[in-house]
């Protein structure tokens, strides 16, 4: 069984479904509201657990009303929480999300996620040393992202860095990653480049291997220095929230099968994830991924 460590955010997602996004200053009547569990770290942990991995989470919640349900939600999915900190006098992370026509707009308030320190990752270094791979994103302090990269790299454990939300990072940090998994916009920000530059050129300029996500168009990756395109799978989009998280989790879970297979399965898992509402609503189990792969031979 693949053993993964996920270092990242845990949020309560406050989701409003509307026919369209409001303009600045406009009040709009929405169609539906729901609060569901999210956060890029929590989502990647749950997606990987559903796909059959043993998953350990390094993260933080506050001491508010959201903290307990968020932890229970992860535990119910089989995610190990020994390294999830409870921060006193602090709110848990929240994400206010508007979903319209399958697209989303998100405002994240980090809360306890901003208090996840390098020390918390260092405390779990033996766990990291025993993992097949580590997943980390950027809704936690950058020094904690750096510590994750360094601790995993020192123990020769591959790290998948999902650079979202994107910020420029030192090239030296990127060299510590086994793969980075941005979309085109995120990769441009990460490299301090022009987002209008050709994405293949951006991929070439990155100092580490890139698996570039292209939404419905699938993903691009380099294999033996040649760019490869994995087309996307055709599905009915309800809510794209969490698609990137599902992609990253599946990539980590299936990496031992080789990069082309892992990317294909990651595209299939991400496609399934957008067919239901909520970041974790459509995250699939392996049989669903296999069924989609058999139905659509892209
Ligand atoms: O990637 C989706 C996630 O981003 C949401 O669950 C939300 O919490 C934000 O962190």
Q: Which atom of ligand 1 is nearest to the CA of 38?
A: 6
Mean pLDDT of all residues in 202-217 = 94
Q: Which atom of ligand 1 is nearest to the CA of 245?
A: 1
- The owner of tokens 């270092």 is 7
Cβ atoms < 10 Å from Cβ of 191:
21
pLDDT tens-digit map of 2-12: 999 999 999 99
pLDDT tens-digit map of 95-122: 999 999 888 999 999 999 999 999 999 9
Task: Give me the active site residues, please.
Answer: 245
Check if the beta carbon of residue 152 is closer than 8 Å to that of residue 177: no
CA atoms of 151 and 149, how far apart (whole Å): 6
pLDDT band at 149 (very low <50, low <70, confident <90, very high): very high
Q: What percent of the chain has pLDDT over 70?
A: 100
CA atoms of 243 and 1, how far apart (whole Å): 23
pLDDT given at position 290:
97
Q: CB within 8 A of 152, min separation 6: which ones?
A: 128, 131, 134, 158, 159, 176
Euclidean distance between the first and the last CA atom of the chain, given in angstroms as a whole number: 27
**pLDDT value at 285 more than 90:** yes
Asked if residue 47 has its Cβ within 6 Å of ligand 1, the reply is: no
Give the chain's domains with CATH numbers. 3-9+40-92+110-295 (3.40.1190.20)
**pLDDT value at 298 more than 90:** no
Q: Which helix (H) or strand (E) holds 199?
A: helix 199-205
pLDDT given at position 222:
87
CB burial of 112-128 (b: ≥16 within 10 Å; e: otherwise) equals: bbbbbbbebbeebeebb
**Strand pairing of 159-161 and 219-223?**
unpaired
pLDDT given at position 223:
76
Distance 225 CA to ligand 1 centre (A): 32
Mean pLDDT of all residues in 72-81 = 98
């Amino acid at each position: 069984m693949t053993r993964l460590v996920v270092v990242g955010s845990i949020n309560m997602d406050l989701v409003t479904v509307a026919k369209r996004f409001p303009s600045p200053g406009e009040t709009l009547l929405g169609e539906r509201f729901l609060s569901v569990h999210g956060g890029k770290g929590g989502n990647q942990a749950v997606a990987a657990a559903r796909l059959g991995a043993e998953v350990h989470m390094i993260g933080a919640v506050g001491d508010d009303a959201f903290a307990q349900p968020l932890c229970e939600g992860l535990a119910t999915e089989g995610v190990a929480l020994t390294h999830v900190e409870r921060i006193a006098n602090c709110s848990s992370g929240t994400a206010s999300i508007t979903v319209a026509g399958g697209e989303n707009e998100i405002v994240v308030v980090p809360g306890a996620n901003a208090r996840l320190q390098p020390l918390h990752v260092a405390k779990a270094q033996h766990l990291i040393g025993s993992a097949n791979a580590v997943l980390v994103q950027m809704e936690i302090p950058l020094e904690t992202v750096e510590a994750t990269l360094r601790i995993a790299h020192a123990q020769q454990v591959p790290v998948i860095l999902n650079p979202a939300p994107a910020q420029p990072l030192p090239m030296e940090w990127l060299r510590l990653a086994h793969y980075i998994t941005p979309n085109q916009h995120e990769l441009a920000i990460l490299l301090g480049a022009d987002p209008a530059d050709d994405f293949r050129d951006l991929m070439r300029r990155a100092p580490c291997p890139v698996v570039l996500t292209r939404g419905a168009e699938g993903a691009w990756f380099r294999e033996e220095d040649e760019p490869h395109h994995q087309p996307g799978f055709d599905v009915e989009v309800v809510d794209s929230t969490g698609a990137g998280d599902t992609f990253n989790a599946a990539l980590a879970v299936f990496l031992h099968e080789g990069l082309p297979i892992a990317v294909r399965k990651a595209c299939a898992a991400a496609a399934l994830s957008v067919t239901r509402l909520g970041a974790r609503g459509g995250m699939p189990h392996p049989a669903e991924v296999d069924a989609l792969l058999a139905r659509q031979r892209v």
